[in-house]
Amino acid sequence: MNEIIDRESTGRKASMVAIMGNILLTIFNFIVGTLSGSTALVAEAAHTLSDVITSILAFIGFKIGMKPADKEHQYGHGMAEPIVGLIIVIFLVLVAYEILSDVYIKLLMHEALKAPDWTAAVMALIGIIVNYTMTTYLIRSGRRINSPALIADGQHQKVDIFSCGAVLVGVAGAQLGFTMLDPIVALFIAMMVIRTAFIVARDNINTIMGKIPSEEILDEIRTVAMSVDDVKGVHDVKLNNMGPYVSVELHIELDGDLKLRESHKISHIVEKQIINSVNSVKMAIVHTCPFEENKKE
């Protein structure tokens, strides 16, 4: 129970930090970008607005994923997080489209270009510092509580560090006379948003398709199962990725002379040991096989 409370508290706190931080950055990026004449900074404001939306969606997915199993959802609600991740992809694509539309007007429609003033550069520098702080906090919190939604949100936030750096370069270049550099940087930001959308889509589709988190977790499960007395072998370990956690099914090999009651008792011990020892596993189903028969095969 304490683990669940700690996970929910950490997730809520990290989400609130991301949401409030991005709201402030969106407001200041838009105001400074408009007043200074920086197309790239206005584009970054649009991107940061998408961060607000994605952080809210990530929090909603996190909250739904925290709901326990019930009669209709016997494996819990963990798949809510990757589903929300795919919804986030749609918002990212829309933001990229808006940025590219603005760049099209600036570059191809030959709209007059003015060099942004240095206020935009100062705002971009502030953005780098704030985004780095939020990225570090989100990813660290997500890894601590094993939340794909928070980790993905942190990875998404990381894009803003580089895009703010690109804005800084764009403003400096425009001040030196390269006015075309500012909308070109906005184009670069759009490309980064599209790349992020692709990565988020790929990772969440893999989760929905049941891709295992890592090979290491299989070895960890085998090691834990083999540590239980009377278990002589482990095979056919299968994982079902549910987003923030996984369910596992495996076969253990026991002495063929053991009675059914004893075998059943050992299988339950293995289940509890795996759930208690492997953090991401919340459900385990253990089948028993006679060790002698398995050796003959």
The residue with greater pLDDT, 170 or 114, is 170
- The answer, yes or no, to whether residue 182 has pLDDT greater than 70, is no
Least confident span in 59-63, 67-71, 235-239: 67-71
Task: For 230-271, write each residue's pLDDT tens digit.
Answer: 888 898 898 887 777 788 999 999 987 788 888 889 999 999
d(CA 90, CA 201): 9
The residue with greater pLDDT, 256 or 5, is 256
% of the chain at pLDDT higher than 70: 90
Asked, colleague to colleague, whether 1-209 and 215-290 share their fold, the answer is no
Instruction: Kindly indicate whether the domain formed by 215-290 is annotated with CATH number 3.30.70.1350.
Output: yes
% of the chain at pLDDT higher than 90: 8
The model carries a pTM of: 0.69
Domain limits, the chain = 1-209, 215-290
Average pLDDT over every residue of 185-190? 77
- The answer, yes or no, to whether residue 62 has pLDDT greater than 50, is yes
Task: For 198-239, write each residue's pLDDT tens digit.
Answer: 888 888 888 888 777 777 888 899 999 999 988 888 988 988
- The answer, yes or no, to whether residue 287 has pLDDT greater than 80, is yes
- The answer, yes or no, to whether residue 35 has pLDDT greater than 70, is yes
Give yes or no for a contact between 278 and 217, defined as CB atoms under 8 angstroms apart: yes
Cα-to-chain-centroid distance, residue 1: 24
For residue 2, what pLDDT is reported? 59
Task: For 95-123, write each residue's pLDDT tens digit.
Answer: 788 778 877 776 775 544 555 667 778 88
- The answer, yes or no, to whether residue 189 has pLDDT greater than 80, is no
Average pLDDT, the chain: 80
Band of pLDDT at residue 184, cut at 50, 70 and 90 = confident
- The answer, yes or no, to whether residue 32 has pLDDT greater than 80, is yes
- The answer, yes or no, to whether residue 297 has pLDDT greater than 50, is no
Band of pLDDT at residue 296, cut at 50, 70 and 90 = very low
* CATH number corresponding to 1-209: 1.20.1510
